[in-house]
Each structure stands twice: as structure tokens, then as C-alpha cells.
Amino acid sequence: AVSTKQNIENFRRQLDKIGFSFDWDREVKTSDPKYYKWTQWIFLQLFKSFYNRNTNKAEYIDVLINAFEKEGNKNHPFPVSGYRLPVTGNRQQATGNSFTADEWRSFDEFTRQSILMEYRLAYCGYGEVNWCEALGTVLANDEVVNGVSERGGYPVVKKKLRQWYLRITEYADRLLEGLKHVDFSESMKEMQSNWIGKSYGAEIDFGILDHEEKLKVYTTRPDTIFGVDFMVLAPEHELVEKITTQKHRKEVEEYLDHVKSRNERERMAEKNISGVFTGAYAINPLNFREIPIYISEYVLAGYGTGAIMAVPCGDERDFKFAKYFNIPITNIIGDKFNGEEANPTWEAELHESDFLTGMLMLDAAEVVITDLEGWGKGKRKVNYKMHDAAFSRQRYWGEPIPIKWENGIAYPLNETELPLELPHVESYKPGPEGEGPLANIEEWKYKKVTLDLSETSKVSPPAGGGDIEGALETNTMPGYAGSSWYFLRYMDPHNDKEFCSRKASDYWGQVDLYIGGTEHAVGHLLYSRMWTKALYDLGYISHDEPYKKLVNQGMIQGSSRYIFLFRLEPLNISTTSLSPIFISYTLYDKWKRGEMTNYQILDKLNEQIPNYYTPENAHKAQMLVSQTQMETEDIIQLHVDVNIVNGVELNIEAFKKWRPEYKNAIFITDDNGKYICGVETEKMSKSKFNTVSPDDLVEKYGADTFRMYEMFLGPVEQSKPWDTKGIEGVYRFLRKLWRLFFDEQKGMVWNEEKATDGELKVLHKAIKKIEEDTERFSFNTSVSAFMVCVNELTDLKCNKKEILEPLVIMLAPYAPHICEELWHELGNTKSVLDAAYPAYEQRYTVESVKEYPVSINGKLRTTIIIDLNASQDEVEQIVLKNDVVKKWVDDKPLKKFIFVKGKMVNVVV
RNA sequence: GCCCGGAUGGCGGAAUAGGUAGACGCGUCAGACUCAAAAUCUGGUAUCAGCAAUGAUGUGCAGGUUCGAUUCCUGUUCCGGGCACCA
């Protein structure tokens, strides 16, 4: 403890020297209003910033209109999508694609704000959430299992809610470009650029038979347009309702119900082909062919235009779809298509493609786009997979969003109102419409706040002046809000005038080395890059990438336990008298492998609980049986707290106490009466109930041992399950190190004698190895080198200060406490952190001979000690004279003699 | 399903530019010290055959390139991370 305090003191002194203070005792926490004030402040800057899509500069719409008019133009240069209405209510002229400057001035405030929302970096819109009616709450994706809530098993559907978003898509190109200038691993860069998902292609307008509307599709393969055999719309596509014919309506509606209960991931992972025909036909703009329009869940509404042109000979999913629905396939690539599977080649020569026939696909793509643009039937389009980041949460623990609403208009709070503090709540229950718990606090919602009505906020004062009746936003910010910029706050934690002074951020610059896991690849690490770019654009910092170098540490994983809920109906435990049924892993395993049917599981239940079917629930039991015959995949895996599982056996009583909603649950056990849990190694997480605390180990072995053991476990970048088996080894190492200085009987044993060459060789070998290993983040081999060094010094009975002192300096970053202590025991008064790092001197470690491994035909047969300076001829002579070599060569003619100096010898015969 | 990783003794892992596979640690076996235990120390420990010398096999699996492959290439299986509200 003494040493740590000195370390901190020393660190403080260094900071004082350069003019910054740092309060080590107080963390920068997102839950601290002194910090989240500035998160709210940055949010306001993002809200007030407008993005000019053409010039990549944040400016105001009026400024742009004025500049535009100066050039004699009438129409406003920015399109209005009307696709995602940011606020409720009727918007004037909102459906048009553009508006004139005069029109802009004639719009009412609601319409203006609604349009401005489309340009704000932080904007409000409507987005889908997982809505659980029974719980009256919004659920996170990981709280939903197989379409029902993990807790209780209630049905979950999608619901549109008002949501805040960050316009990260405007930074897509710069986020890609920035990857070239940062030191991240290639796989990390790959993940980020795949997530951004930039693709080049075309938007093509297909006509629809008997309809005015155009069907817009996005494709990266305009060259295959003559191979389009059908169209597929996402089930949520806005045209589905309009174009479905009377004859197909019922089928389509049934399909939509099916899709509504499934999330995006389930839809993408679905192997079985599904979809329905709408009865409508599209018209190919190039050859006017009539093409059937289907809907299917494999097309996602959020990507491209939510509609695709399907070319079965070139795309595997389209091909399977065509086979399934018996749609005839047009082959446009001749013998490159074998009729058995699609061929997504770019290199084939086109067949059956009208004026493109004979052209290479790569060239044809260019021709088609140019022609379509000429005819006004399509245009070149760059598309991104990434979409804007949802920025509101229906939760309590998050920064309140400093916005007040009235008549559908969002008014930003005055900066002097910050921090807008989280009120105390009696309960964390969600609001009446699934909003956050803040919606329940009337006095907080309607408290008096001043609004930012300045020019920069671009809102006109409301009718009642600055004083409005409306309510504060009740959603809060997500976890990534605070984590997107905390490193900047660390640079200037006590500043109450700014989030971080320009002086501080200029001085510290980028984070030199960021150690973070790959699980943050497309979340935190992308969001914080975007925030940094936004703050850079707004002129608050001078760099636009937060992290100079990123090292991905692996995860220390936990061992999770699972129980298996046998869900015979969409189980709603509050409305059925039947108890939830859990089956043992042994049964689940058989069921999964198809060795056991649902019906046989019920038999097992009857066997174990003979009185289960009472007259009262007999009708329900009847229903269960009919359900079971359907063989539906209705077993859900649920995490259970590792602490109530003994090895793999569940403590059922403890479980019922832990999860009162399952207090009536029935457990189908193995024949020996035990309920066995499933086991999986996965990320430690609160929601997986598999976390372990290091506190006990620190208590027993000390922080140095714990720290070194974690480093010793394996390479930093590798994930591994948490396991304390080997910690004794590190503990013994530290004790062994201590004994080089102090003996239990004799007390102090270290001395000031002159070191021998042998001892210096041990030391300098270690200096070299540890320096190299630390440099490349190979901490586990570094620790191993320390162990080797201490073992060798113990063997040499070396207790000399001349050797031990440099060793302590090197070890200080690995085991800071014990090293600080030993450093002072050696008579030093300052901190070990101030000591100069020992320099490697080659002269102590030079070798003159080498024990060469000698192989015959690539197989190692012996080793021979040879002078390191020996020439190839000399080595050849020595080796061929060797008895073992002679025996293996056995007079066979020598084909080749391979000698790699300092490495090995191979004799080929 | 898609994207990104990983797989080496009983266990965690080492082998940094294609050149002695198993460093270091855990565990385990044998021994020393001790009345005993703890702690500590010494030695063995990939597998198979053999008293041994030694030989054969061996880096998830199936192939390929090479004098030589844990390392490079092709295919494949399993495990982990992410997939937009866990953070």
C-alpha cells in the first residue's frame, strides 16, 4: 500500500510539472453528473449541427438556402426523403422530393423542424423495438429467446417507438478512410469495414403491372438485369399492402404475422426457404418482361431499398428460392452455369442478354448503369450496410436527454440547465407506453427549464415565449454515449467550463495505446471514432481518430450453466395453471439428437409426477399432447446462476428462490433424481450469471500475484476460460524472488559483491528477452523469462545487488508492489518507476559454439557441437565423419547437404 | 446464415523470418528434510514398444508445396467473439 501511494504521488508530480492535475481517487464515471453533464452538452452540439451531404461540412440550412439562391437557383439542393418521419403529425409538403426557398419560408414551425431533423447529426425518428405486452416493457435483444422474453417466456413483437439516432452514416466514408491511418489489427479493420459495408451498384426502377408506383431495387450486379426471373420484397416493404392482389391477400397476411415475431438474426440464419407470391408483376425496364413479385424474410427492410431483383443463375439464395417455387431460370452465363448451383462470377461472357450479349459482365455493369441513367430509369448508387445508431433507451440508468417536447417539436435545453440530473425514482418500472421509468415522474417531466432558442439551435421560440408546457424527453442515453469520449475527459477531469480544454487535448493528443476486446469492434470502437470525428469537425479537438494503436486482448471467459425450458405452448405462466417444465440436460441432449420426441418427454413427466394431470388441468394436458405431436422446436435454453449449481447439478430449491416466477416449475430429472445443467464456455456477463470476482484471490495471494498470473495465462489477444489452477506457480515465483534478498533464518542476504560473468550472462539474457517480449505484448513469455532468470540465479546462489537491482526495475511493471518494496530495501529512496531501465549489453551473452541438430532426410538423428564460425565445408566434413550420421547414410550417395548457419544441418541421401 | 478469430501433452501454454515440437508454469510420480504436517529442495513426466541404448508415432481432420511444415496453400470439422437495446 505504501508503494502504491508513492507511485501515485510520483505520477501526480509529473502531471503537475506539465500543468495538469489528476485526481486518482475519483474515477470518471458515467453515472456522475459532473461527467455526464458534458455528455449531454456534446449531445446538444450534435443536435444543433447540420450535415451538408454535398460538402461534408456542418452548416445551417438557412445559410445553404441563401448561398443557393445567390446562384439563381429555385429548388433547394437537398432532397427530403419523407421515408422516416421524425415527429408525429402532418407535415406540409413533406412528401415531395424537394422544396423551394419560398416554400421553406412558408412552412409552419412543425414542418420546418421535421425537415431539419433529416439534417441534424443527432435526430429523432421512429424505430423498432422488442415490445413485450405482458411485461409492459421494451426488451434488449439478448433478453429475447426464440421470440419470447427470457424472463417468463412471454411473447415479444416489434413495435415502433420514437427514438433518437446518431447520424453515423454520414461518417461512413471517413470511418473507412480513417482505418488506413490507425494501427489496428487487420481483422479488426476488416470487421469494421464489413460492418460499414460499402458497395457500389445501381438503383433501378422497375414498373409494376397495373400500378403507377415504381419498384426501386438496389443491386450490385446491374450487368445481370436480363437474368432477372422474379423480384423479392422485404415483408415490411411499403408497397406490399398496395400491390398484393385479392387472391393472394390471405396468404400474404399470414406470412406477415409469421415474420413479425422473428428478429433479424433469426431471419438471416433461417435455412428453410419461405415466402409468398403477391400476385403482382414487375416490368423489367430493359426488355419489358413481366416478372412475378414475391415477399420473403431473407430480404431485409433495412438494407438497400428493401427490395431485390433476383437472378437465380448468379445468386445462391435466389437460386434456392427459384427451385423451391419452381420458377424457370434464365441462364445468362452459358456454360458457366451448370444448373446445379448458382455461379456468382464477374468474369463470364453474357448470353441471352439482348444488346449486352457477348460482353464481359464487368464491362456490362458500367454500360447498364450509364444507359439506365440516360433513360431516367435508374442511377449509380453507393450503398452502405451500416445504418444510423439508435441513441435512446427505455431505461433509467443513462444520461437524461436534454430535450423538451411540445406539439411534436423538440426544443434543446439551455446549456445552463446542464447537468439535467436523473431524478430519484421509487421504482424502475417502465412508463405507460414502454418509455423509460422517467415517464412516471410527473414533477421531473414538467419541471421548469430554460430552452436554447439561440440562432444556432434553429428552433423558433414557441407561442408562449421561452416557457413551454411540454414534457422532458423520458428516454435516456445508451451506455456508449459516455464511453464514446471518456478518454478526453481523463485529460482534463476537473474542468467545469468545458468537456476538455483544447490545451489539454492538444497536449495529450490521441490515445497512444488502447487495449480493448474484439467484442467492441462494431460498437464502442466505431461510435467513439465517430464522436471524435464530430468533435473534430466542430473544432473542439485537433485529431479525428481517437486511438493511435489498438491491441485486442482476449476475453477471460466464464463457464455458464443452462437449464432447458420445455415450452409446449407459447407459455405465459401468469395465465395458465400449468407449471413450467424444465428438462435435464441428459434428456435435452437426446431430444436434440433426435433420439427422443416431445411425446416421450411427456411420458417421462408422467412417470416422475404421477398426479400432474388433475381434473382441473386435464383439458390443458390434452392440448399439450396435441402440441407435442407437432414436434416443434420448443425447448429454450436459459442461463442459470453458476453459484446455485454444484458442478453440473442444479440446486432446485435455490433456483426457485432465485427466480420466484418459476416457483411452481417442474423439473424432469435423470433417473437418479438429479437435474443436470448444460455447460458452455462463453463471455463473462451479468446476463449470463457466470461472473467470478477476483477479490478472494487478491486477498489470498496479493494483487501482484493476481496481476502476473493473468499475464502468464497466455497471449493477451487470446480468449480463455477463467481458471485459477496455476496461480500457485506465480505465487511461488514471487516468494522465490524474495528469498534472493531475504532468508527466513538469516534475514537479509543480498550483498554488494562483484558479479561474475556467468551471473551477468543470466541477467543480460533476461534483459534482452524481456525487452523484446514486452515490446510485442508477449507478457506470458516475459513472465516465463523472469521465472527462468530467478531459477538460474537461485542455482548460482547469486544474491548480488549488481544483478538484483536491474531485475527489480524490469519486474516493476509486472509486479509493482513487491518491486517497489524490494527497491527500497536495496537502499533506494525514490520510486522504482524513476529508475533507468537496464541496458542490454551483447558482450555478456555471446556464444562461440552451437549444438547443431543434424537431420538425415529431414529426420533428426543426432546433435553435434560445432564452432559457430565454421564454414559450410568444415561443417560438412565434421558431420559426415560422425558415427551416427555414417550409420544412417549407410554408403548411400549424398544428394544434398543443407547447412543453415546457426540453425541446423540436413543431410539428404 | 453472414463477418472475424482459434485448435499443440492430463491442464494453461512455448516455438518471434519454413529449420531440434512441448520453454515456463500447473498437475502428477519418486525421493530428501520432518515424530508428523505445511513450507522448501532434488529428479522423472507427449504417446507406444523396449531393462536400456534406441526406434516408431505425434501440433483438430483430409490432402498439397518443400531437403525440411505447428508455421505456407486447398478443403473440412469443432469451439469462441460480433451481427445494430449486454456494454
**For the residues A176-182, what does the mean pLDDT come to?**
92
Residue A84: is its pLDDT beyond 70? no
Cα A743 to its chain centre, rounded Å, is: 51
Q: How far is CA A713 from CA A701, A720, A721, in A?
A: 16, 8, 10
First to last CA, chain A: 66
What is the tens place of the pLDDT at every residue in A193-240?
999 999 999 999 999 988 988 899 999 999 999 999 999 999 888 889
Q: What is the per-residue pLDDT for A164? A: 93
Residue A167 CB lies within 7 Å of the nucleic strand B:
no
Residue with cell 433495412: A302
What is the tens place of the pLDDT at every residue in A443-473?
999 988 999 988 778 888 777 666 677 889 9
**For the residues A795-805, what does the mean pLDDT come to?**
93
More confident residue, A887 or A780: A780
In contact, A351 and A369? CB cutoff 8 Å: no
Which nucleotide's C1' is closest to A736 (Cα)? B40
Q: Which of A269, A156, A158, A146 is nearest to A567 (CA)?
A: A146
In contact, A204 and A287? CB cutoff 8 Å: no
**Which bases on strand B have an atom closer than 7 Å to a protein beta carbon?**
1-6, 11-16, 19-21, 23-27, 39-42, 55-56, 67-69, 79-87
Q: What is the per-residue pLDDT for A888? A: 84
Which of chain A's residues 111-150 bind strand B, using a 7 Å CB cutoff? 129-130, 138-143
Which nucleotide's C1' is closest to A727 (Cα)? B26
Q: Cα angle at A138 between A132 and A141, to 5 degrees? A: 95
Q: How many Cβ atoms sit within 10 Å of the Cβ of residue A300? A: 16
Which of chain A's residues 499-518 bind strand B, using a 7 Å CB cutoff? 517-518
Which of chain A's residues 541-560 bind strand B, using a 7 Å CB cutoff? 555, 557
Residue A160 CB lies within 7 Å of the nucleic strand B:
no
Q: What is the per-residue pLDDT for A574? A: 40
Which of chain A's residues 245-274 bind strand B, using a 7 Å CB cutoff? 263-265, 268-269, 271
Residue A97: is its pLDDT beyond 60? no
Cα A450 to its chain centre, rounded Å, is: 38
Output the pTM of the full model. Answer: 0.86
Residue A193 CB lies within 7 Å of the nucleic strand B:
no
**What is the Cα–Cα distance from A123 to A388, expressed in whole angstroms?**
10
User: Which residues lie below 8 Å from residue A171, measured CB to CB, with a gap of 6+?
Assistant: A529, A530, A533, A534
Which nucleotide's C1' is closest to A857 (Cα)? B67
HEC profile for A751-805?
A: ECCCCCHHHHHHHHHHHHHHHHHHHCCCHHHHHHHHHHHHHHHHHCCCCEHHHHH
Q: Cα angle at A113 between A126 and A91, to 5 degrees? A: 70
Q: How far is the CA of A767 from the C1' of B23 (A)?
A: 17
What values do phi and psi take at A294, rounded to 5? -110, 165
The residue that minimises its CA distance to C1' of B39 is: A732
Q: What is the per-residue pLDDT for A414? A: 93
Q: How far is the CA of A521 from the C1' of B68 (A)?
A: 40
Q: How far is the CA of A728 from the C1' of B30 (A)?
A: 22
Q: How far is the CA of A853 from the C1' of B56 (A)?
A: 20
Question: What beta strand segments (E) does A477-523 contain?
Answer: 511-516
Residue A621: is its pLDDT beyond 60? no
Residue with cell 390434452: A622
Residue A699: is its pLDDT beyond 90? no
In contact, A251 and A215? CB cutoff 8 Å: no
**For the residues A544-572, what does the mean pLDDT come to?**
81
Residue A189 CB lies within 7 Å of the nucleic strand B:
no
Rounded to the nearest 10 degrees, how much is the dihedral formed by the CA atoms of A626, A628, A630, A634?
130
Ranking A69-83, A570-584, A595-609 by mean pLDDT, the lowest is A69-83
Model ipTM value = 0.94
Q: Residue A732's pLDDT band (boundaries 50, 70, 90)?
A: very high
Q: What is the per-residue pLDDT for A192? A: 93
Residue A896 CB lies within 7 Å of the nucleic strand B:
yes
H-helix segments, A542-617: 585-592, 598-608
Residue A683 CB lies within 7 Å of the nucleic strand B:
yes
Q: How far is the CA of A902 from the C1' of B64 (A)?
A: 30
What is the tens place of the pLDDT at every residue in A625-657?
545 444 445 678 889 998 888 888 899 999 998
Which nucleotide's C1' is closest to A188 (Cα)? B4
Which of chain A's residues 687-746 bind strand B, using a 7 Å CB cutoff? 687, 712-715, 718-720, 723, 725-726, 728-730, 732-733, 735-736
Q: What is the per-residue pLDDT for A409? A: 86
Which nucleotide's C1' is closest to A302 (Cα)? B84
What is chain A's mean pLDDT, rounded? Answer: 83
Q: How far is the CA of A854 from the C1' of B57 (A)?
A: 20
Q: Which of A105, A149, A153 is nearest to A131 (CA)?
A: A149
Q: Cα angle at A676 between A670 and A677, to 5 degrees? A: 150
Which nucleotide's C1' is closest to A859 (Cα)? B68
DSSP string for residues in A678-738:
EEEEEE--GGGT----SHHHHHHH-HHHHHHHHHHTS-TTS-EE---TTHHHHHHHHHHHH
What values do phi and psi take at A344, rounded to 5? -85, 25
Which of chain A's residues 360-389 bind strand B, using a 7 Å CB cutoff? 385-387, 389
**For the residues A544-557, what does the mean pLDDT come to?**
91
